[in-house]
Copies of this chain bind each other. A is one copy, B any other.
Amino acid sequence: MNSTDLQTLMTDLGKRARAAARSLALAPSADKDKALRAAAQAIRIDTGLILEANAKDMAAGEAKGLSAAMLDRLMLNVARVEAMAKGLEDIARLPDPVGRSLAEWTRPNGMHIARVAVPLGVIGIIYESRPNVTADAAALCLKSGNATILRGGSESFHSSQAILTALKGGFTACGLPADAVQMVPTTDREAVGVMLRLADYIDVIVPRGGKSLVERVVAESRIPLFQHLEGICHTYVDKAADLDMAKAVVLNAKMRRTGVCGATETLLVDAACAKTHLKPLVSMLLDAGCEVRGDHLAQEADCRTLPASEADWSTEYLDAVISVKVVDGVAAAVEHINTYGSHHTEAIITEDAGAAQTFLNGCDSAIVLWNASTQFADGGEFGMGAEIGISTGKMHARGPVGVEQLCTFKYVVKGNGQTRPG
């Protein structure tokens, strides 16, 4: 497609989304929830069509030589389609985030001011191979009164289109606009560049995918982002840690799932307890099948430890690998984390409330935990319902981005003829 046609196509998408957003912003909660349940039903009914489309994507993916991990992310089956439908119903059950009064007060002149939650408007989602993002993201946006423009990966193009058709059917059957959710109808790579410049029609972009996708979006976007670059998460075992608790939490933080963003990538151990705590922790990890790359003390603690290089302190392994370092107390742990970390999630294990407070205040991260596993970094685990992602940025949303974070607010002022003096 030439660049003029692409610009026209994308601008048209944007205008339709903006018009749909105006109507969605005013949609009653009951209508939105009904539409989400209808979409869930439509997905169930379309299971055969969705799997047929997915088979096309899988065949093309195999022919292209996609890795086994990528093929697994791409693959749908009856259980995964049902999970998608159930996800929509779960989102329907969340409280409506729109219209909440976030604060209210009355001025001395009698004016009443309320800060009221309203939708952001139009959300652009740029994602890779997981076709279920199509349903999850569109549903979270709809629940929060936003229109969505989806740009899926070329690998999952047919699967996503089939899911989109089901969603649209459910939404329009309940009187919501067909343009509430749209998908960029081309796999042209240039379309992403055009999308990232549609600042008049898209209010926020959510890139969901690997580091190279996010880096491209960060570099090119003229639209604000909810971005998640990396999860270089730390667990610090303080001298006042209970060793049994430290072992249980560290093992879970690293090994429960090694591929999630909240997995601990670096273990920091207080020098003051290295003699008693370092060997049990390092050996436990090695025994559990984790590769350990450590400083010289960690290497001395267990000879299976490999030497860590400077690059290890800022590496997100997303695998059964951990870097281990002995630091000189809580202040040094905070300093290490703020220097090498990615401002995502950090935990301290200690029985000392003062040391905990120093750590919780000092780490410049979205989530800080005291005596709990970094693997809790998740909107669902926080009780926020489904999340569209975790933001490592500081603006607007930080940490899990759920339906409340997909809203902005307006000030609603009620008076009886007040004029401003002076």
In contact, B111 and A394 (Cβ under 8 angstroms): no
| CA of A360 to CA of B409, assembled, Å | 12
Contacts of A113 in B (CB 8 A): 382-383
The residue in A204, A365, A366, A420 that gathers the most chain B C-beta atoms within 10 A of its C-beta is A420
Q: Which residue of B lies closest to A374 (CB)?
A: B420
Considering only residues 367-414 of chain A, those with a C-beta below 8 Å from chain B are 367-373, 375-376, 381-383, 393-396, 398-399, 408-414
Interface presence of A152 (CB below 8 A): no
* 23 A–B pairs (Cβ distance < 8 Å), ordered by A: A25-B361, A26-B361, A120-B395, A121-B364, A203-B395, A204-B395, A224-B395, A242-B417, A245-B416, A249-B417, A253-B419, A356-B414, A365-B410, A367-B410, A369-B415, A370-B413, A370-B415, A371-B414, A371-B415, A372-B413, A372-B414, A373-B420, A376-B420
For residue A25, which residues in chain B have a CB less than 8 angstroms away from its CB?
A: 361, 364
Residues 324-352 of A, flagged 1 when their CB comes within 8 A of B and 0 if not, give 00000000000000100000000000000
A257–chain B nearest beta-carbon distance, Å: 9
A366-B411 in contact (CB<8A):
yes
State the CA gap A394–B21 with chains docked (Å): 14
Question: Are A417 and B365 in touch, CB under 8 angstroms?
Answer: no
State whether A411 and B382 are in contact (beta carbons under 8 Å apart), knowing that A248-B417, A256-B420, A417-B372 are contacts in the complex.
yes
A107 to chain B, nearest CB (A): 6
* A86 to B383 Cα, complex, angstroms: 45
**A373 to B421, alpha carbons, bound, how many Å?**
10
Asked if A44 is at the interface (CB within 8 A of a chain B CB), the reply is no
By beta carbon, the residue of chain B nearest A378 is: B420
Chain A residues touching B, range: 35 or more
The reply to whether B373 and A410 contact each other, CB–CB distance below 8 Å, is no
Whole-angstrom CA separation of A417 from B369 in the bound complex: 10
A280 close to chain B: CB less than 8 A? no
What CA separation (Å) do A203 and B364 show in the bound complex?
A: 12
Total identical chains: 2
Contact, CB under 8 Å: B368 / A248: no
Could you mark each residue 230-255 of chain A with 1 if its beta carbon is under 8 Å from any beta carbon of chain B, else 0? 00000000000010010011011100
Instruction: Kindly state the separation between the CA atoms of A107 and B395 in the bound complex, as whole angstroms.
Output: 26
Q: How far is the CA of A365 from the CA of B411 in the complex (A)?
A: 9
Q: For A364, what are the chain B residues with a Cβ–Cβ distance below 8 Å?
A: 22, 25, 121
Is A169 interfacial (CB 8 A cutoff)?
A: no
Given contacts A248-B417, A251-B419, A375-B420, 9 further A-B contacts (CB under 8 A): A22-B338, A121-B364, A224-B224, A242-B417, A366-B411, A369-B413, A371-B414, A371-B415, A373-B420
* A2 interface hit (Cβ, 8 Å): no
Enumerate chain B residues within 8 angstroms of A307, measured Cβ to Cβ. none
**CB-CB nearest in chain B for A204:** B395
Is the Cβ of A383 less than 8 Å from the Cβ of B105? yes
Interface string of A272-301 (1 = CB under 8 A from B): 000000000000000000000000000000
What is the minimal beta-carbon distance from A236 to any residue of chain B, in angstroms? 14
Q: Which of B224, B249, B394, B410 contacts A203 (CB 8 A)?
A: B394
Instruction: Note all chain B residues with C-beta closer than 8 A to A381.
Output: 107, 420
Please tell me if A362 contacts chain B, counting CB pairs below 8 Å: yes
Contact indicator per residue, chain A 172-188, by CB within 8 Å of chain B (1) or not (0): 00000000000000000
Q: Is the CB of A419 within 8 A of B368?
A: no
Interface centre among A26, A203, A413, A418 (most CB of B within 10 A): A413
Chain B CB within 10 A, most for which of A111, A356, A366, A419? A419
Q: Tell me if A373 and B121 are in contact (CB < 8 A).
A: no
How close is A243's CB to chain B, nearest CB, in angstroms? Answer: 11
Kindly state the separation between the CA atoms of A419 and B248 in the bound complex, as whole angstroms.
7
Tell me which residues across on chain B come within 8 A of A383, comparing CB atoms.
105, 107, 113
Q: Are B360 and A418 in contact (CB under 8 A)?
A: no
In the docked arrangement, what's the CA distance between A242 and B416, Å? 10
- Chain B residues whose CB sits within 8 angstroms of the CB of A204 once the complex forms: 395
Contact of A111 (CB < 8 Å), options: B107, B203, B376, B416: B376
Q: How far is the CA of A383 from the CA of B395 in the complex (A)?
A: 23
